[in-house]
Each structure stands twice: as C-alpha cells, then as structure tokens.
Structure 1
Amino acid sequence: MHDADQTGKNRQFRLSILSGAIAFATALSATATAAEIEEVVVTAQKRSENLQDVPIAISAFTGDNMKAMGVENLTDLGKFTPGVEMNNDTPLQPTYSIRGIQTSDFTVGSDPAVAVYVDGVYTGRGAGAEIPLADIERVEVLKGPQGTLFGRNATGGAIHIISKKPQADDTAELSLTAGNYGRQSSDLLLNRQIAGNLYGRFTASSNRRDSFADNLGGDFEAGNQDTQTYRASLLWEPTLDTEVLWRADYGVMDQGSALRTSIVPTLQEMEGGTDVFGDYSLDTPTIEDRDSWGTSVTVTSDFEDFTFTSITAYRGFDAHLQQDEDGTANPDYMFGSANFDDQTQFSQEFRLNGVTDTLKWTVGASYSREELEHDTDAYFTAGSLESFAVYEGVKAQMAGADLTTTQLEDLAVQQRQAMIAGGQEGAAVSTFVYDLMVQSGQADQLLTMFGAPESINASMLDREQMAAQLMAGIAPWVMADTEWNETVTNTGDYRSAAVYGDVTWSLTDKMDLTVGARYTADEKDFTIESAYQNTLPVALAGGEVDVYGEDGSVLMQLPLPSVPSCESAEAQPCIPAQRFGMAFNNNGIADLHQDLDDSWSDLSGRVVLDYRWNDDVMTFFSVADGFKAGGFNSFSAAEGIDPSFDQEDVVNMELGLKSSLFDNRVKLNTSIFSYEYDNLQQLDLVGAPIPNYYLRNADAEGQGAEVELQWAATDNLFIAGNYSYLDTEYTRYQIIEAIGETEEEHSRVGQPRVSTPENKFNILAEYTVPMNSGADFVLRADYNWTDERIGSISDPTRVIEDYQLLNLRAGWNSASDRYSAALWVKNASDEEIAGGYGGTGAAIGASPAWRFMPRMYGADFTVRF
C-alpha cells in the first residue's frame, strides 16, 4: 500500500549515475575544441527574433531536442521545463500550470489560464490542445501574463506549438519505434516541391502501447495508448514578397483512459491486493475517444515599410472521456463518470509589423467564436449512496481527531463492512434521507399525513428510530446495488474580439522601451440542464417512535403505521419516493434549466525596459498583466449564488538576464518575478448535506526565480540544466455562505496553490563520439528532480512526495545522415511516482491515485530518402 503519507519515504536524493556519466564524458573530451551553441529563433513577440534578444522568460525546445529527451506530448515537456507543471493522467482533461497559475475547472463553463496555440491558432478547450509532437519545428513556453500579444486566457503564460513548413526539396523520412508493453509507433514524412513556387508536406503518425498493469476487476484496459495523426500543408509563393501557407490536420484517439487505483487500504485488500504501483481493479470501462480536425490559411505579405499577416482558422473535435473515479471494482463504491464534447471554433487575426531605425511595432485585431455542447454523466449504485452516507457519518463522528483523509476513508470502509455483517445495510442512507426530509419539511408533512398531533414535529422524534422505520423501503434497494445514473448538459456560445498594439522604441543604442496594450471584449451564452433523474423508495416499517421534549425527556411514544412506498403500493396511503441528485445537486429544483449570458472586457498591457550591456548580455525589467474572462458554474445551482463568476486578472513584475558568454559557448538566462492574482477562478468540492463542485473567486500571490544554463563544453560535450523556485499562497478565499460553508471549514488563506512544487531542477549531458567513417554515436542522459507539492485543493493534507526521473539514450547516425538508430529508457531507475491523489472519488470515501509511467524502454530507427 502506497499512501500520500508514505510514498517516497525511502527515496534518496542522488545523482551518482548521472554525475559519473558527466565526469566520464568530460574526461574523454578534455582536449576537444569547444563549439558554439546553436541559435534558436522564436516568434514570442509576433516576429522572428533570436531567443536571446527577446525580453520575455521563454523556454524553447526544437523538434530534435524533444525527440532526444523522449518527449511525446506537452505533459512530457512539462517535466523538463522550469516553473512549469503539466502532470496529466488523461490528454482529454489536461491542466497546464505556469508559475503556479492554472485553472482547476474541468468543466466547460470557464476557460484555461494558460493559452495553447498551434501554428498561431488558439485552441479553446484543453481536450483539443494535447496533440502528438511529431514533425514539430519547436515549442515555445512563454512564462508570465501574455495578454498583450497572445490575448485572453494567457494569465499564466502561453504555449506555442509550431509545426514544420513545406521546404523547397524532395525528401521522405520514416521513423519506427518499438518498446516494452507492446509499444509500436511510426512517423512518415513526405516533402515535395510540386512546382517552382509551390511546396507540399505530409506526415502520418501512429502510436500504440498496452497498459502497464493488469485489471483484476474487468476485461478492459486502462492507461493504454492508441492514436493516429495526419497533417498536410501547402506553401505557395505567388510573388517574391508573398507566401500563402495552408495547413490541415486530423487526429484519431481510441484508447483506455486514466489508470486510477484506490489508495484506501481496506478497499485494496478487498480487491485482491491492488496497489497504486501494481495491478488495478476497475469496473467502469475506461474510454478516451477523440476525433479532432483543423485547418488554417496564413497569408504573409512584405511591403516597403511593414509586413501584413492574416491567419484564418477553423478547428473542432468530438470527444468521449469515461473514467473510473473510485479506483475499485466494488459495486458498493461504484463511481464512474463520462464527458461528451462537441466543439467547433472559428478565428481570424489580422496583423501588421513594421521596423524602422528606432521603432519596432505591431498592431492587430482578432475575433473568435466557439460553439460547444457538453454532457457530463455520473454512474453510481445504491450501494455507492450508502458508502457516501457512511463516510459522511464517520467524518462527523471523528471531527477534531488527528486523522488523515485516508485514515478516515479506511474507517468508513470498515464501518460499512461491519454494518453489512450486522444486517444494517441501508441504515446510513435511511438516516441521511430522514435528515433531508426534516430540512425540507417533508418529514412534518409525513407525520401530519399519518395523524400525528400538531404539537409534534419531526425534529422531536428519535432520529435512529425513524431511520430504522425508513429502512423498510431503502434496505432492499441498497442491497440490490440498484443503478443510480445522472446527467447534466451544457451548451456554450462564446465570442471574443480584441485590438492590440505593441511598440519597441530604441531610446539609445543600448536601451529599448516596449509598451503594449490590448482591449478584449468577451460575450458568453451558456445553458445548464439537469434533473433529479432517480427516485429512492421510502416506506415505514410500522411501530412506535420516541418523542422528546426540550429537556431531553421522552414525552410519549408515537405509533406509526406500516406504509409502503407509492411505487409499490396499489392503494393509498403511501409515501412518495424521494428525488434528489448525488452528483449534480439542484438544491431542490427537480428539473433545472438555466439560460445564462454575461460579458466581460479588459484593457491589458505591458511595459518593458531592456538594456544591452554589450553584444552578449542583456537585462530587462517588465510589468505585464493578463486577463481571463469570467464564466459559469456548470453543474449546480444554489439560491443566493450568482451562477456566473468574475474575470481573472494577474499583474506580474519581472527582472531578467539573458546572456551568451565565452564566444557563445555558454548561455545563461535568469529571472526573478512576483505576481498578484485577483479573482482566481477556483473549483472546489463543497457544501452539505451533499457536496458539489462550485467555482468561486479567490486571490493569490506568487514569487520565484528561474535559471537556465547551456554549456557547449567541447565540440563533443554539451551540458545544460535549469532550476526554478516558486512560492505561492492564497491571500483570499471566498466563502460560499449560501451553501452553509464556513471560514473554519474551507478557508485556504496561506495555503500554497495546488501542484506547485517549491523547487525543481533538471540537468542533461550529451556526448558525441565521432567515428572515422563519418558516422557518430550520441550518448545522452536527462535527470529531473521535483519537490513535493499539494495534490488536491479539497484536501491540502494530501501531499505528493518529491520524485526524480532519469532518462537515458544512446543513438547512432550514419555518415550520410540517411540512417539513424537509438536505444532509450525512460524512468531508468523505475521510480514509483504518484501523479495525483484524491479526485472526485473522494466524495464517496474512495479516493484513487494515478501514477507516472514505470520504466519504459525501446528502440528507434529512422531512414531518410
């Protein structure tokens, strides 16, 4: 059993393998001639510039670098990027965190806080953003608010994926990969010069892998992979000054979703000894299906004094994500979920760039429209409701005790088993339902119906005796593990328009001042449809119930008849079945339909002063802010709560250094930053008697530092590393009084943000061994260490322990560069690393966890024609 409190206790912080490899490589190459570091060109400021000349904190990765690192997607990339976390167990619900700024909402009522762009086109939903990184020119990770040039929803930063354009040559390339757990991947690339001014490029990629553990509870897989991606592009140059670039892509995903395993000890034992890092037991089939597509046309024309750019794009996807939320195959803890998405988006951007002797300027305008339909299903059984009620009772009984959440959940499971053994199954739900009836006044109506004196109300009756009465209808229903399914439907129509401008003025030959601003206007129409779709049978067993006075003495014994539920009764009187929602609480509204609309606008900007001390060293100071529109609660409605929530605003101050030293053999970039985060949109599971997901606004702050170093030690040895320090905390946490939430119960003030490790560093060493034939061998090691972090906003006591990752690669390239081959291993030391604890299964006392990949190894082979 690996709990959040136990994972990593035996972990040792060690670098002996990697440091030994570096020392050996350094000794071999001590007499070699030093080389320069290759220049990286980025478009972070909407124009092509040397990375070292851009006064923004950027981590940039070329396609070749990512392949050498074993990076297949953005989640992999996040592990090696300072200040960035992209720990996702499913590509259809990704979360990207830059410097602790992220959005916890997995619904469609809000937007992400980190903007993901593909070839200059914003991807509006996370489910369409996580794409395979095959045939990619580079990925740029821009840190800090990017509201001026990248626009809305870039409060934390922006991630820009740039694919390779068609080239003026005829080439073909085929790459094959095979590895353990049935890994089979292929990438096919074709590039052709179709005419003198027309070029085409086509890529086809597939990736398949089996699950890395066995399902003891069903015949389906979880955690396997199966994707296919196709890209096509045409580049037309009608004149020397104009190019038209058309791109299109289509992707298919058909695989099992996240592999989640219960962390509750007693449940693990009941499931045959399952373990977070071993075999698992699931009863909800896991599904990740997605068809995604997109097309864009980019027109670029150079005029005498400026360059005109137009980007017209249309994208969309259909997705189905189904997950086992409890991590068990126990029907008494059945909790599955499914999300169905149908999304399309259109965007248009016009931009002008100009350069004079003293000015660099950019002006532009953009418009986008996103239309979506989203269904969320939740799958329970009557046994799940009983487990939920038992867990709520145990939490109430143990309030104030010094117990972890896992210990509370384990006590609840043991209590549940004791009740089954004692013939008390259904007692917890009966008590829970009676409390609901008392709160709503239905219990008083019931007493009146059966002739109770007017002087007696339900609050005077013995609670346990009344619960025992109700068990007549509820116990058989619970024991049968009757299905209990719920659905909520959302639709959205989001429009956004913006105008922006950015000017860099050379104050002197060494100092530049940049000023930029963007005005954004967002409008959103949104609907919520939900209903209490299930009924719970209520009957009275018949007998006498104690009635208490104000002093606690028994006033009398009230006789109650034996009364069936109306669903089973042929004649009156009978008791109507109770309707309520366990997953989507409409707060007494049996059939909920809301048509909502709202709008938000903002003026965001940046001011940057940079000074170039010489040709190799530049420092900059910037103040920038970002804006994210408000949105709507997607699941629940409650009286006294505005269904919409406010927009987010972030103001970031940063001091940075960029340098190329020792004849460009060393690159050293550093930055320190501090930000204030206002009206952070925070999703939390709160409320009583049935907790639900509500999105509220909070405030937070963060400060930190980042260092990136590259060193071309010799012609053969390249060493690089990075380090990030991050300190975040909530400074305000809005309490939702309308659902009975109190400051003592749910304040997070002073608590760090979720999934924000305080320290993180990476180091790599790459050594090239040239052969007399002209071929070469390349040996590479990548090492990452990430500090502990809070894994759940609803439970800050669950800490994800620190972890380390070591990836190794040995490659060979032929003298002609026609052939390449490599052997590789990821997570070489087979570390057992938890990616997250808790999740929605925590609502019924069955928290799961998911893990990083175990040791993966394989071989690559590439041939070029």
Structure 2
Amino acid sequence: MMHNADQTTKTRQFSLSALSGAIAIATAISSGTAYSAEIEEVVVTAQKRAENLQDVPIAISAFTGDNIKKMGAQNLTDLGKSTPGVEMNNDTALQPTYNIRGIQTSDFTVGSDPAVAVYVDDVYTGRGAGAEVPLADIERVEVLKGPQGTLFGRNATGGAIHIVTKRPLNEDQTEVSLTAGNYGRMSSDVIINRAINDKAAVRLTASTNKRDGYYPNAEDGADWGGQDTQTLRASLSLMPNDDTEILWRAEYSRLDQNGATRASVNENISVGDGTVFSDQAFDTGNHEERDLYATSLKITHDFNDMTLTSITAYRTFESYLLQDEDGTNNPDFYFASANFDDQKFFSQEFRLNGETDSLKWTLGASYSQEELVHDTEAFFTPSTFETFALYTVMKESPEQLAALGVSQGQIDALAAMSDLEVSKQVPGFRELLRNTSIPLAPGLNASGDGLMVANFYGNYLLPSLVENVMQSSPEAQQAFFSNFNCSSQLQTYMGSGDDSQLNACLLLGANAFVQGKEGNWRENVLNTGDYRSAAIYGDATWAVTDRMNLTFGARYTQDDKDFTIDTAYQNELYGIPFGMAFFSGGNPAISQSSSDSWSDLSGRVVLDYQWNDDVMTYASISNGFKAGGFNSLNYGDDIDNSFDQETVVNFEAGIKSNLLDNRMQLNASVYAYEYDNLQELSLIGFPIPSYNLRNADAEGQGAEVEMLFAASDNLLIGGNYSHLKTEYTRYQVIEAAGETAEDDRTGDPRVGTPENKINLMAEYTIGLNSGADIVLRGDYNWTDERVGTISDPSLVVPDYNLLNARVAFNSASDTYTVSAWVQNLTDEEIVGDFGGPGNAIGAETGWRFQPRMFGADFTMRF
C-alpha cells in the first residue's frame, strides 16, 4: 500500500476542522453556565512518593481506573493511542513495542532489553511478553516521559510505564461487570473486597475477555485476530501495628488466542486485494499462548521522620507464538516462525524516604536476576528458498538476471524500484524460471524450481562447507564428496589443483538435492540468558525558597550478563547439517557462550518555580542508561556478537497549571534529546538477510500540550497535542553482513514515530430528577503518517482518524451502571504497521486496527 500525499493533506485539513468544530461546540454548550465544577486531584508515585500530579516536575500522562473504563481501553496498546508522544502499536501481546518520544527497542528475542521500562505495582516486568496485562481493577496507569534512570533505573531511556492495581480496602465491596458485543465479544470482571478486621483486608479479582477474530478467513475455520484471556488477582493487606503495613499481591494470567495476524500487502501473491483489509488465507495457523505468574511482598514501616520500604518480587511466564510470516497461503512464499519464551525474574528493592521542612529525599538499593530461555524456529520449503534467492538477486544485484535472458530495460527498471515494488515482480520471475533452461556451468544445465537456489548453494554455501571439510581427516573428506558422487573429481583436484570439474559436480549435486527435496525445512536458534543487575540511588528535592525547588539525583547501575546461542538444523545437505535462515557462514552448527558487563552513572537535575498557587514551571536535564546485549539470531567471524550500551541525554522545560478556580488543567512541555548507541534491529545481509542488532545515534525535538477543562457541572472536555521530529545522526553499516553505503539511514526519521498527534475528549452528564444520571462521552484521535519499516523507508503507514463513543446510565444509588459503546465509530480502515521477516522473500506484511466494535456493559455493585 503506497502512501497518497494528497489524501494526507485532505485528512489533516479534516482533522483540524474536526478539532476546531469540537472546541466550538463545547464552548457553545458551556456558555452561560454557572461554573462550580472542579477537576479532581490525581495522586501519582512518579518520584517514589505520593504526590499530586500537578506538583511533579516531570511530563506525565496519568489514567485513573475509572477513566480507563470509560475509554474502553483493555491494554497498554489501547492507552497509547490517547497518550501524546507515545505509540504502542502492537499486533501481538507477546512481542509488544512501546515507543515514547521516538525511543523504542524492536528486538523480539532476549539478547537485548526494552528501552521503555514497564512496572506493575513497583515491580519491573523485564520482558515485553509479560508486560501486556489486562487493565481490570486498575487504580491508575502512569506514563512517565523522558529518561527515568534515577528512580526507575536501567532500561528507562525512553520513559517508564507504571501500572498500579487496586489494593485492599478496609470495607466490604462486591462488583460484577458483564460485557457483550459484536464479533462474539463476551467479557466479565468480578471484584470482591472484604475487611477481615480493622487491621486486615483482602481483595480478589477475576477477569475474562473473549472475542472472535475480525480478519475474514477465506478458508474454512474461525476468523483471525481473536482474543481469549483470563486473569486472577489476589491481594492481602495486614497492619500488625500503626506504623507497619504488609501488602501481598499475586496474579495469574492465561492467554490462548489466534491473534498476532499479519497479511501480505503484495497483491500478486495474496488471495485478497493486497491490503490488510480484504479476505485472508494463511498456510500456518497464527496462535498466541502465555501463562504468567507474579507475586510480590511490600513491607512499609514508618519511623519518626522516615519511611522504610522493602519490595520482594518474583515473576515467571512461559509463552508460545506461532505466526505466518509471509501472510499468504501461496506455496512459493511459505514462511512461518515459532517463538518460545521462558522467563524467571526475581527482584529486591529497599527504599528509605524522609522529609524535613526544606528537604524531601529518597535513598534506595535494588538487585534483580533474570533467567531466560528463548527459542526461535523458522519453517520453509525448498520453494521458499527459491523465492528468497531470486528476490535477493532482484534487489541487490539485478544485473545477474542477464544470464537468465532478462532484458537490460527490465534490469534497469528493477534497480529503480523500491523494495515493495520489486517484491511484486517475484511471481512473474518465478514463472520465467520455471520455463527457462539456463547454462549454469560448462556441461551443466538445469531448469525449473531449484535454479536460483542451486546457484546459491554453489556460490555461497558449498565453498564454505568444502573449506571446512578439507580441514578434516581424509576419511571425512572422502565421505563428504562421496555423498555428491564427486570422488573422482576430488582426486583430479587433489592431483592438479584444478577445481572446475569439482565445482561443476558439486553444483549438479546441489541442484539435484534441491529439486528432490520434499517437506518442510526447519531451523532453530536457542538462546539462554542469565542477567544480573544491581544499583544504588539517591534523589532529593531541596526547597531553595518558598517558591523554588531544586531536585537532584543519581543512580549507579552494574549489569552482568551471560548469554548462549545454539543453532540446530533439522535438514542436511548430503549428510552435512546446515542452515539458510540462520546462516552460519557454512558452519554446520553454532554453539557460543558470551559474557559481558556494563555500568553507568545516570542522574537528573530539575529546577521548578511555583509562580503562585496555581502555576508551576520547571526545567530539567536527565539521562538514562540501557545495558548492552547480544545478537540473538546473527553471528559470524566478522560480526561482533556483543553491542554497546545505550545512553540518552534529555533537556526539557515545562509548565503545569490549575486555572479558572481549578476548573482547568493546562500542562505543556518542550524537549530535545540526544541518543547514543541506539540498539537497532533490522533485517540485513547478502546473500542471507538475517536479523542484526547494531548501534546508531539519533536525536529528537518535540513539544506536548495537555488540557482538561471542567466547563460546567455537566461538561468536561479535554485534549492533547504532540509534535515530534526525530532523525538518525549516525547509522552503523555492517558491511560484513552485506550492507552498503546506500543502506545508511542517517538523516531519516525513526521508525514508528508520527510527527503530529491530536486527541480530543468530551464528556457530558445529564442529571435526572431521580438522582440518576446519563453520561455521554466521545474520544477522537488523529495520528500523523509514520515510517513503517526500517528496511524500506518508502513504505509509509498512512495517517488515520479514530472516533469512539459511549453512553452510560448510572443509578441514583450508584448500585448499577448500564452503558453502550462503539469503538472506531466510522469503521475506518487503519493500518497498524508494516514490516516483519516476510520482506526477506518479497512478502512484506502489515496488520490492521480493529474495525467498528460495539457492545454493552452492565455493572452491579453491592
């Protein structure tokens, strides 16, 4: 799908018109109304202590549990659409990417860490596959923007997301919620809170969410893109005395669904129209499974003027993700993958907080250990390799096609095409090969399937294999060449040094092997990791004057990592196991162990000034640190398996204000950052493209505005806007993996980062004489276009509009609520993202947002 610039201009004009119209309507409704409403205070713990959101000199977007429910958000990806400067466009819960102000890490293996730290109840989640938890019975979600290295530690270079679940209350409560909607949506939440006595309370939450898929299945069976999750939470609060609280939490989450669906945008191989919105057919079932367990123990003790907090936590999950990577059922493009993850995570943190008349301070120490197992499997057929070899030649060196009788005009045309355009030519060239007889070498001919791969074997794989074999024993040499029926040619080579007959014989054997191969080709890479991290930190806010505060903090972090990589190839080339997807330079298998360590001193300095009781401004400089790591899927003599740590320095200035007698909150910030050694994952390499992590530098500048206005007792309106420009300032080209200077992305924008984003919200309450009320709410989002994939920057994700609406009836006694809702009201066809390993064979894929979804909720409280 190519981007239409005229359409974008029209969409932007429509979006700005919609924004102006919404503000005008809201103003008209509220005019002449007596203003007595106030905006409720939101308490956050962004600085490891409870504070009013408006008093914290950090750019934060906070969502209360009530607001999350009104928005219809089910997970972090849903919240990302409404958060300025944040993108959480994820097609799968098991490989999510969180992007804050253009900073993200896209590595789906365990060789590196995420750039945005996700915490659940003060506990770091570690891996993305364990971060996407259902937002049921949530107190709030805090999104902290910019590096949070001082208080939240490593892996918070982009920011931090903190999910806070509701804690037990000292009263009896029961709440039951049921949801039904289109596409077979059935959900339920049951919350039970009981006060055991005046010193103890317990809270239990059970949540289910099930929905059919919305990708039309062109074959028999269920549609793709469904949901099926169950979550259980339990918490217990004990107060043995007035100064001590013990809070225990536990959670179990089960996910088992046919989501994670990507469709090919190559109309020449898809059963649909080459978009992600038409009927789809796949030759591999898309499936996600995860079992997650988590528990934590938080002990808080108050001394005379200090508070000591201990948080001990353990989290573990096992997950399985099966995906059709080519997004079609075309046998020439068969490509599937399976990823298995097993994580065990332990952490311990001690924190001491204190406060005097002029100083608020925090001292802390933390330790964590993460044990990881990740297995990546790839499934192909020999026909897939033929497509891959042809597509690689068409992209990287189309002049080689002259030997196939391709005209110079066609070769020149290919050289001028984008990767996506080239990929659409593959089926036609496949047909050309099936009907062509081409001389491969003197006295050797081949035709049909296997031509390109036979040449590939002969040119790239066999020389490496022969080189390895020639270093082995004479018996091993004889056995190897006997497999190819090339023993006599070997003797000629050994006697004369002339390898022409030997090479021709090997090539003939390779071609026969390819054409005679049946069934799937399976390869896998197994990674294990043992990661330890220790840190000490301190942070203090000093009241310089009655109006001015100076905050300064620092954290020292030490990360130690042990990592292993093992390859296994379930297929052999005449007795020699080898791989193509996980190319090993001709080595039959790889087994490597690596260890490395990284350390860093991160910190922040913030100056804030309270102009009056309602307006505060701040300026800050902060930096963050993300440990280095290891390439999980690529390796070779010329590629360093370890890569450097990331660092980011952020400069920011902002304002937070409560205006119009606390009826309006208006917050804004401007920022600029420099990012060094950004860990970038991309699919590169010739002749074998594979995933490589390299280091790059980037910079970004942006601005954000958030407004919430209680226009009357009945009307609440809000909105936010974010602007962000990013670019690579240095882009490492891994020449050993086949990149050239043309692959340098210096000056290009970061992937997945829109330049502009607008959100609007309006909520109107109609009071009834009975004491009940009706609440009308609408949420609107416009997101600018963005680069979809680093492998082909010309593939742009178009901008989009998204409108959600909700109407709710609340009973006079607040014992029940009935609501009806619709998401994507105008049924927009929205592309979520492009990219994925399918582009290695010319099957670039993308995924779509949900179509129009509607339903009703019923909640009973007693």
Normalised by the length of structure 2, the TM-score is 0.91
**Matching residue of 2:453:** 429
1:60-81 CA-partner distances (Å, limit 9, x unpaired): 0001111111111000000000
Deviation for aligned residue 1:456: 4.5
State the match for 2:303 in structure 1. 303
| Matching residue within 641, 644, 648 for 1:643 | 641
Contact 1:193–1:199 (CA under 8 A) maintained in structure 2: yes
The Cα of 1:373 is off from its aligned counterpart by 1.2
**Which sits farther off after the overlay, 216-225 or 690-699?**
216-225
Q: Does 1:401 align with 2:403?
A: no
* Structure 1 stretch displaced more, 139-148 or 587-596: 587-596
**Contact kept in structure 1, 2:142 and 2:161, CA below 8 Å:** yes
The question of whether the paired residues in 1 share the 8 Å contact of 2:106 and 2:681 is answered with yes
Residues 230, 251 of structure 1: 8 Å contact kept: yes
> Aligned residue for 1:31?
32
Cα distance change of structure 1 residues 474 and 6 upon mapping to structure 2, 3 Å threshold: farther
> Structure 1 CA distance, aligned partners of 2:102 and 2:678?
12
Q: Relative to 1, partners in 2 of residues 1:616 and 1:6: Cα closer, same or farther, differing over 3 Å?
A: closer
1:346 corresponds to 2:346: yes
- Matched with 1:535 is 572
CA distance in 2, matches of 1:704, 1:32: 36
Deviations 1:93-129 (A, max 9, x none): 0000000010011110110000000000000000000
Alignment size in residue pairs: 817
Instruction: Report which stretch shifted further, 653-662 or 436-445.
Output: 436-445
Q: Tell me whether 1:416 sits opposite 2:430 in the alignment.
A: yes
The reply to whether residue 848 of structure 1 matches residue 841 of structure 2 is no
Query: How many Å apart are 1:17 and its aligned residue?
Result: 6.8
**C-alpha deviations, 1:287-328, integer Å up to 9, x for none?**
111010111111111111111111111111011111110001
| Gap change, CA 1:853 and 1:172, over 3 Å in 2 | same
Aligned to 2:539: 502
* Aligned position for 1:69: 71
Structure 1 distance, partners of 2:628, 2:391, is 34
TM-fit CA distance, 1:659: 0.7
Tell me the CA shift for residue 336 of structure 1: 0.7
1:449 pairs with 490, 508, 532, which one? 490
Whether 1:785 and 2:782 are equivalent positions in the alignment is yes
Residue type matched to 1:530 in 2? T
Which residue is 2:56 aligned to?
54
CA contact (8 A) 1:364 1:499 kept: yes
Which residue in the other structure is 1:541 paired with? none
Q: 3-state SS of the aligned residue for 2:109?
A: coil
Residue in structure 1 matched with residue 254 of structure 2 by the alignment: 252
Matches within 5 A, 1:222-621: 222-268=224-270, 271=271, 275-395=275-395, 396-397=397-398, 398=411, 401-420=415-434, 424-437=448-461, 439-440=463-464, 442=466, 448-449=489-490, 451=492, 454=496, 456-458=498-500, 470-477=510-517, 480=518, 482-536=519-573, 576=574, 579-621=577-619
> Do the aligned residues in 2 keep the contact of 1:82 with 1:760 (CA within 8 Å)?
yes
- Secondary structure in 2 matching 1:296: strand
Q: Which amino acid aligns with 2:82?
A: F
**1:365-422 CA distance string (max 9 Å, x none):** 0111111111111111111111111212222214773212222011112211333355
Evaluate the alpha carbon distance shift between residue 251 and residue 512 of structure 1 in structure 2; reply closer, same or farther with a 3 A threshold. same
Instruction: Tell me the distance in 2 between the aligned counterparts of 1:21 and 1:618.
Output: 29
- Where does structure 2 lack aligned partners over 5 or more consecutive residues? 399-410, 437-446, 471-480
| Shift of residue 220, structure 1, vs aligned partner | 5.3
Question: How far off is 1:196 after superposition?
Answer: 1.9
Alpha-carbon distance in structure 2 between the residues aligned to 1:677 and 1:854: 37
TM-superposed deviation, 1:90? 0.1
- 2:210 maps to 1:208: yes
Q: How does 1:634-673 map to 2 (within 5 A)?
A: 634-673=632-671
> Are residue 812 (structure 1) and residue 809 (structure 2) matched?
yes
Q: Secondary structure at the match of 1:735?
A: coil
Aligned residue in 1 for 2:854: 857
Alignment partners' CA distance in 2, 1:858 and 1:420: 52
Change (3 A) 1:357 1:778: same
In structure 1, distance between residues paired with 2:693 and 2:705: 35
Equivalent-residue separation in structure 2 for 1:10 and 1:336 (angstroms): 38
Give 1:440 shift: 3.2
- Alpha-carbon displacement from aligned partner over 1:827-864 (angstroms, at most 9, x marks no partner): 11111111111210011111111111111111111111
Q: 3-state SS of the aligned residue for 2:727?
A: strand
- In the TM superposition, residue 745 of structure 1 has moved relative to its aligned partner by 3.3
What is the correspondence of 1:123-272 to structure 2 with a 5 Å cutoff? 123-217=125-219, 219=221, 221-268=223-270, 271=271
For 1:610 and 1:486, locate their aligned partners in 2 and report how far apart those are by CA, in whole Å: 56
Would you say the 8 A contact 1:531–1:586 is kept in 2? no
Question: Distance in 1 between the 2:335 and 2:737 partners?
Answer: 24
Secondary structure of 2:148's match? Answer: coil
Q: Is the 8 A contact 1:529 1:592 kept in 2?
A: yes
CA contact (8 A) 2:346 2:369 kept: yes
The answer to whether the 8 A contact 2:577-2:589 is kept is no
- Give how far 1:495 is off: 0.7
The SS at the match of 1:12 is: helix
Alpha-carbon deviation of 1:636? 2.1
Distance 1:437 1:681, change over 3 A: closer
* Cα shift at 1:448: 4.3
Q: Which residue of 1 aligns with 2:831?
A: 834
Counterparts of 1:337 and 1:470 in 2: how far apart (Å)? 26
Shift of 1:340: 0.8
AA matched with 1:630: G
Q: Deviations over 1:655-680 (max 9, x none)?
A: 11111111111111111111111111
Q: 1:466 to 1:529 in 2, by over 3 A?
A: closer
- CA distance in 1: counterparts of 2:656 and 2:5, whole angstroms: 41
Contact 1:602 1:627 in 2 (8 A): yes
Give yes or no for contact 1:584–1:692 (8 Å, CA) kept in 2: yes
* 1:687 corresponds to: 685
Counterparts of 2:124 and 2:4 in 1: how far apart (Å)?
40
1:838 and 1:849 in contact (8 A); partners too = yes
Cα drift, residue 3 of structure 1: 4.6
Preserved CA contact (<8 Å) 1:523 1:598: yes
Moved more, 433-442 or 86-95: 433-442
Instruction: List per-residue Cα deviations over 1:571-619 (Å, max 9, x = no partner).
Output: xxxxx46643122122222121111111111111000111111111111
- C-alpha contact 2:349 2:367 (8 A) present in aligned 1: yes
SS, match of residue 152 in structure 2: coil
Residues 384 and 515 (structure 1 numbering): CA distance in 2 closer, same or farther, change over 3 Å?
A: same
Deviation at 1:221, TM superposition (A): 4.5
Q: Is the 8 A contact 1:586 1:592 kept in 2?
A: yes
CA–CA distance in structure 1, aligned partners of residues 542 and 564 of structure 2: 47
Quick one: which amino acid aligns to residue 773 of structure 2? D
Aligned partners of 2:418 and 2:792 also within 8 Å: no
Q: Distance in 1 between matches of 2:287 and 2:786?
A: 29
**Residue 708 of structure 2, aligned match among 707, 710, 731:** 710
- Asked if 1 retains the 8 angstrom alpha-carbon contact of 2:783 and 2:801, the reply is yes
Q: Residues of 2 paired with 1:21 and 1:703: CA distance? A: 28
Q: What SS class does the counterpart of residue 591 from structure 1 fall into?
A: coil
Q: Summarize deviations over 1:477-497 as a string: whole Å, max 9, x none.
A: 2xx4x3100111111111111
Deviations 1:765-803 (A, max 9, x none): 111111111111111111111111111111111111111
Partner Cα separation in structure 2 for residue 669 and residue 660 of structure 1: 9
Partner Cα separation in structure 1 for residue 828 and residue 6 of structure 2: 11
The answer to whether the 8 Å contact 1:729/1:752 transfers is yes
Query: 2:117 is paired with a residue of what secondary structure?
Result: strand
Whole-angstrom CA distance in 1 between matches of 2:435 and 2:713: 73
Secondary structure at 2:535 match in 1: strand
- Name the CA shift for 1:471/1:441 in 2 (closer, same or farther; >3 Å): closer
Q: Which residue of structure 1 lines up, in the alignment, with residue 475 of structure 2?
A: none
Does structure 1 retain, via aligned residues, the 8 Å contact 2:645–2:677?
yes
